[in-house]
Structure 1
């Protein structure tokens, strides 16, 4: 195999330079210049774009890019200046149309020129850092048309005039406006902003300042808000039709400031139409409009909230301090519930369920409900009214709704323990007299109270229900033990109440008739025989009795009376006439109760089974009473209630308050001990603050009471004072 010598190849440059026609650049440019003229003169159909592109390509390739670029600038500038003259010459409404037409022509021409010079755009221009063809065309249009002295101000004024005319109700050519605005945007953000947006915002501020001043003088609050809302929506719509989207925030800010923010104090306080008027008259639509407009401006909602809070507090204060309203506790609470429902509905329908408004409503109710120290008692009386038997046409579902609303009022109470005290008394009366609407409703409320306040709050209430059930079982056993004797003696129904679970009752008793004493003794023997280590005390002030009575013409009735009334009536089995003093001595019923019982028996029309001499509504100690043998009633069974004030009398109120204060003492002491046990050492102010915080769910303890309880605990050596700092307490383990 013969070896082959390796050869090295070398490429060398041409020995002779390629000579380009010295007039090549000018000849080629003339061809391209002619084409640009034809394009701007709308004669582009006869041009060969492929050939033109090749010519431009070759000029750049042969280093004549600079000539090509400078020729483009001068040619395009001359055509644009011609267009500017045409635009300047356009009169009136034709001005914008001519501007739009020439702008469209320039854009089309620019696109074709850019296609022809694409190679220059991609290579020569980036390398020499010149302006690209399209951008160059826009800049030349900006400088030679838009920013000329004869067009710039005229264009701005024409556009602002069209906006003004549209605001006053004229129909304008929105399509033309959109094209012109888009032209300004295409020329650059700064052009749009400086030549249109800034003056537009400035003029709008003046327009809305004047218009709002005019409206505020002649319109009521509701109408003003409608106009403001309409103007705001118009501006938002205007932006969507022909302005830059970024202008929306700026123009809406102008409307908000001039029409709402600058007048919001005057609007909410407008006589006969402001916020209070809207709240009073449930103007949900106007309130909703005010809320949606005011939320757009700083502090707008807080102004509405402050005025609403002030109004609710003033209204509520009048409600809870009006002596007329206090005469009827049930009506008092119903008005509170109506007021709450009213404002809840406003917040839901008009204020978008705003939590801040709901909190303001709650704090307002808490403020004025606690202005009246009798609110806990009245709320309990309202519940008592709803849960007693005889409520016609009220379903259990409706009672449940009412109880939920009552629980809302209960949450506002600072003295929940006072409510508990009254509620226990009223529940006891309902259970013992059998006047409760339904056990389910009663238990439902106790569940709600337990959820709200915990087991401690309701344990005694639940104990009362347990006693009622146990008493039923006890009575069945007692009846069985009597056997045949049962028909010979009065029928007895006993409720055995556990001391501590039921309200503390006065120990005052009365002298029961002999017939009743006999069966009472039998029950005592039976009960103590089956339960060891217990003691029974008869609460005669809480019982009822059914008596059979025969009147003058042999007319028979069954009288449903209290135990005290039974004791009085049975005295008349052996005599026809008794004085007040004789009745008092025979029965030993406390004077206040005796007078009320006698009033019920002798002074109430249709229930007067006794007659009184002299006849009057008041009971005096020298009055005489007779059996009324002429008594008649269309009913066989006649219920005789006891004349009693629905709410407590002042002495009773004082007594209840005293019992509440006594019950609070151990609770305050327990809280102090709990705190000191965990903290060991604490100063006086912090003890008061923490005790208040712990007990707040039940009541607001008085700092003076806390101080007294601390003193008591120091005396009993649970705490001691620091030897140096007297305000510092130490826990003694």
Structure 2
């Protein structure tokens, strides 16, 4: 049975009834919904009109009429309704009309579905859904988007001023910008976002200009943080998520970048004041605000560095002033106080770096540079390397001024080693430390072996194995020396004939590990000579190939002094003992006689005689009775001497070792520079002067800051010793001579 042909007008009239019914439903009039039969009839009508044989295939005409249906509805109903409303009311109407329009597109595209499947696919035409949305865009959106944008921005600004607005409405309206783009963000970005960002800039620019005048730095930062938080909320509630980085960047720029220097430099509340008054929360806020801004933290780190440097310099100056005004003894205490204060300063600002500034590398660098500035200053003639070594000595020796628990000592040593990282003359520290370590070990002044080993481990981690190898050797040496002494005592026990009649303890050390000491060929008293011979005999039974060098200046003796009132045990150095034992055979001796009998230098003898006749304990009487020793003096045993103690220690006046240590270090540095130059030239063969100097500085800077003049001097020396030669054509080039 042949299907009856439907002509265009008749078919469209039927479709028109369906479209009118749909419009009435959308307008909210009392119209029942489509039932399935009506829907099927409308769909079938389109289907039939598109599948009739030409010339009755009305696909193209229906496609056009589909568009016209939207255009007619928009022009007759939608636009008039929108044009008569303004501001928020217009936005509500727009959202309602857009929602209705989407419903209309959905229904009509279902009625005309057959077009979508075949006709449109074959002709590559825009699909029905797109045609429907395009109608709204061309007729409604293009006319109104500018007014809509202004209305939305006005509402956003109202909200910024604290008024309540309908956020859901804004979200719905802004979604239109996104949906109209049909998968592209251009409409949203060009027609709304760019204007909104511009408005944001000018809004916050106005705010910042007044806040920077009225508010303190902490208040300004609080407001800025609050604004940024609210703008992020704005994005979450109604703006598109892609706007967040752009919006935040604008707010940051206006509030934090434009006025950065004014804000940070505010006189009574800027970054310096916050550091001075320990405003930890405000500093953390400053970090949070500025770390997201490109190079935003650099000025903060600079101020931090200047502040720490100023505090450190003040401590150094304070110690310098105190040292100038006080006597030598309290000055050294002041210097120890300085090191403790510097450690406290480091602890304090390290907490700032880790907590306020979240361990940011810029602040670690600032702290390091600040400490390097004032940690390398001298105080009352002492370098910081020496002060640090003395501070360690105080902690580690028995009866030091630091009374600390084991944990506190460990903690303090850890901090000292951290401070050492900032000191450029690490080799000078090593030499002073070694000298003091030697005294602690040899005179049994070390409070705890574990702490001695612990700090060496820490130093090794910080400065490398070469730095501590000699010191570790010293500690090990003492253990071996104790074993050696035990063997010696066993030897004496099994050879009674060899016993010298005096208790003798000998500490045998390895020359290479220990600081160098002067050794004199002093004429020892006969009692002591016997001891030396006995020990030599014992040592030769153990080894034939080692030579013993006796360092009498480090020895101690316990002597019984028989005075008129009572006998007193005197603890003296080997040299002092040698002087006193001369008086066993004679009552009175002149300076020159003592000098001849002992074979000592003038300088050493004056020190010895001064300690025995002019100091606290006058074991010898001097003629004439003056405070200084001269070469014409005569000395006799003071039999009337007495003391309430049964045992007394007679100290020798200390020798200032600083000069010798500095000389030793300078000598070592010359060797280190020579070695570095030869190492570099050996690998490079030919090198320019400037490059050689800079590579040399780089290699040596881990231990000390080499002086450029010293490097040049060493280069000249190596040329004379035929390690290097200058290039014939270019005197600034050096060649390595193998």
Query: CA contact under 8 A between 2:611 and 2:650: conserved in structure 1?
Result: no
Cα drift, residue 553 of structure 1:
7.3
Query: CA contact under 8 A between 2:353 and 2:360: conserved in structure 1?
Result: yes
Instruction: Give, in whole Å, the separation in 1 of the partners of 2:626 and 2:252.
Output: 69
Q: Is 2:514 aligned against 1:507? A: no
Residues 370 and 17 of structure 1: is their aligned pair in 2 closer, same or farther, counting only changes over 3 Å?
Answer: same
TM-score where L is the length of structure 1 = 0.82
Residues 569 and 157 of structure 1: is their aligned pair in 2 closer, same or farther, counting only changes over 3 Å?
Answer: farther
Query: CA contact under 8 A between 1:597 and 1:643: conserved in structure 2?
Result: no
Residues 158 and 593 of structure 1: is their aligned pair in 2 closer, same or farther, counting only changes over 3 Å?
Answer: farther
Q: For residue 216 of structure 1, what is the aligned residue in structure 2?
A: 212
Query: CA contact under 8 A between 2:87 and 2:151: conserved in structure 1?
Result: no
Instruction: Give, in whole Å, the separation in 1 of the partners of 2:553 and 2:116.
Output: 110
Instruction: Give, in whole Å, the separation in 2 of the partners of 1:264 and 1:486.
Output: 86
Residues 423 and 132 of structure 1: is their aligned pair in 2 closer, same or farther, counting only changes over 3 Å?
Answer: same
Instruction: Give, in whole Å, the separation in 2 of the partners of 1:173 and 1:642.
Output: 91
Instruction: Give, in whole Å, the separation in 2 of the partners of 1:170 and 1:416.
Output: 65
Q: For residue 303 of structure 1, what is the aligned residue in structure 2?
A: 299
Instruction: Give, in whole Å, the separation in 1 of the partners of 2:218 and 2:608.
Output: 58
Cα drift, residue 458 of structure 1:
3.6
Residues 569 and 113 of structure 1: is their aligned pair in 2 closer, same or farther, counting only changes over 3 Å?
Answer: farther
Q: For residue 468 of structure 1, what is the aligned residue in structure 2?
A: 478
Residues 578 and 382 of structure 1: is their aligned pair in 2 closer, same or farther, counting only changes over 3 Å?
Answer: farther
| Cα-to-partner distance string for 1:54-91 (whole Å, 9 max, x where unaligned) | 12222333432344344444443343342343344457
Further displaced range: 589-598 or 267-276: 589-598
Further displaced range: 317-326 or 239-248: 317-326
Query: CA contact under 8 A between 1:96 and 1:180: conserved in structure 2?
Result: yes
Number of aligned residue pairs: give it.
Answer: 705
Q: Is 2:404 aligned against 1:408? A: no
Q: For residue 57 of structure 1, what is the aligned residue in structure 2?
A: 47
Instruction: Give, in whole Å, the separation in 2 of the partners of 1:532 and 1:125.
Output: 111
Query: CA contact under 8 A between 2:298 and 2:362: conserved in structure 1?
Result: no
Cα drift, residue 348 of structure 1:
1.5
Cα drift, residue 209 of structure 1:
0.6
Residues 686 and 26 of structure 1: is their aligned pair in 2 closer, same or farther, counting only changes over 3 Å?
Answer: closer
Instruction: Give, in whole Å, the separation in 2 of the partners of 1:560 and 1:273.
Output: 63
Cα drift, residue 255 of structure 1:
0.5
Residues 677 and 175 of structure 1: is their aligned pair in 2 closer, same or farther, counting only changes over 3 Å?
Answer: closer
Cα drift, residue 251 of structure 1:
0.9
Residues 258 and 728 of structure 1: is their aligned pair in 2 closer, same or farther, counting only changes over 3 Å?
Answer: closer
Instruction: Give, in whole Å, the separation in 2 of the partners of 1:617 and 1:206.
Output: 89
2:384 is matched with which residue: 348, 372, 375?
375
TM-score where L is the length of structure 2 = 0.81
Further displaced range: 109-118 or 427-436: 109-118
Cα drift, residue 194 of structure 1:
4.2
Q: Map 1:121-520 to 2 at 5 A.
A: 121-127=116-122, 130-148=125-143, 152=145, 154-188=147-181, 189-320=185-316, 323-324=320-321, 327-328=331-332, 329-372=335-378, 374-390=383-399, 394-483=404-493, 489-507=501-519, 519-520=531-532
| Cα-to-partner distance string for 1:562-589 (whole Å, 9 max, x where unaligned) | 5566667778999999999999999868
Residues 467 and 247 of structure 1: is their aligned pair in 2 closer, same or farther, counting only changes over 3 Å?
Answer: closer
Instruction: Give, in whole Å, the separation in 1 of the partners of 2:311 and 2:275.
Output: 11
Cα drift, residue 205 of structure 1:
0.7
Query: CA contact under 8 A between 1:100 and 1:180: conserved in structure 2?
Result: yes
Q: For residue 4 of structure 1, what is the aligned residue in structure 2?
A: none
Residues 420 and 46 of structure 1: is their aligned pair in 2 closer, same or farther, counting only changes over 3 Å?
Answer: closer
Instruction: Give, in whole Å, the separation in 2 of the partners of 1:332 and 1:486.
Output: 54
Further displaced range: 422-431 or 385-394: 385-394
2:33 is matched with which residue: 45, 64, 72?
45
Residues 547 and 285 of structure 1: is their aligned pair in 2 closer, same or farther, counting only changes over 3 Å?
Answer: farther
Instruction: Give, in whole Å, the separation in 2 of the partners of 1:467 and 1:34.
Output: 109
Residues 425 and 509 of structure 1: is their aligned pair in 2 closer, same or farther, counting only changes over 3 Å?
Answer: farther
Q: For residue 703 of structure 2, what is the aligned residue in structure 1?
A: 698
1:34 is matched with which residue: 13, 20, 33?
20
Instruction: Give, in whole Å, the separation in 1 of the partners of 2:605 and 2:117.
Output: 112
Query: CA contact under 8 A between 1:576 and 1:626: conserved in structure 2?
Result: no
Unaligned runs of 5+ in 2: 324-330
| Cα-to-partner distance string for 1:328-369 (whole Å, 9 max, x where unaligned) | 443333333333323322221122222343234334433443
Instruction: Give, in whole Å, the separation in 1 of the partners of 2:555 and 2:165.
Output: 89
Q: Is 2:81 aligned against 1:86? A: yes
Instruction: Give, in whole Å, the separation in 2 of the partners of 1:693 and 1:239.
Output: 52
Residues 98 and 691 of structure 1: is their aligned pair in 2 closer, same or farther, counting only changes over 3 Å?
Answer: closer
Q: For residue 660 of structure 1, what is the aligned residue in structure 2?
A: 665
Residues 459 and 204 of structure 1: is their aligned pair in 2 closer, same or farther, counting only changes over 3 Å?
Answer: closer
Q: 1:412 aligns to what SS in structure 2?
A: coil
Instruction: Give, in whole Å, the separation in 2 of the partners of 1:285 and 1:704.
Output: 49
Query: CA contact under 8 A between 1:386 and 1:399: conserved in structure 2?
Result: yes
Residues 152 and 730 of structure 1: is their aligned pair in 2 closer, same or farther, counting only changes over 3 Å?
Answer: closer
Instruction: Give, in whole Å, the separation in 2 of the partners of 1:202 and 1:213.
Output: 17
Unaligned runs of 5+ in 1: 1-13
Residues 44 and 185 of structure 1: is their aligned pair in 2 closer, same or farther, counting only changes over 3 Å?
Answer: farther
Cα drift, residue 320 of structure 1:
4.6
Instruction: Give, in whole Å, the separation in 1 of the partners of 2:392 and 2:672.
Output: 27
| Cα-to-partner distance string for 1:510-546 (whole Å, 9 max, x where unaligned) | 7777665654554455446755465555434323444
| Cα-to-partner distance string for 1:107-163 (whole Å, 9 max, x where unaligned) | 333322222222233334455555444333333334444444xx5555333322221
Q: 1:34 aligns to what SS in structure 2?
A: helix
Q: For residue 326 of structure 2, what is the aligned residue in structure 1?
A: none
Cα drift, residue 182 of structure 1:
1.5
2:10 is matched with which residue: 6, 15, 24?
24
Instruction: Give, in whole Å, the separation in 2 of the partners of 1:312 and 1:92.
Output: 57
Residues 514 and 626 of structure 1: is their aligned pair in 2 closer, same or farther, counting only changes over 3 Å?
Answer: same
Q: For residue 94 of structure 2, what is the aligned residue in structure 1?
A: 99
Cα drift, residue 248 of structure 1:
0.8
Query: CA contact under 8 A between 1:603 and 1:617: conserved in structure 2?
Result: no
| Cα-to-partner distance string for 1:418-439 (whole Å, 9 max, x where unaligned) | 2222122111101011111322
Query: CA contact under 8 A between 2:167 and 2:237: conserved in structure 1?
Result: yes
| Cα-to-partner distance string for 1:485-515 (whole Å, 9 max, x where unaligned) | 8999443322233334321223368777766
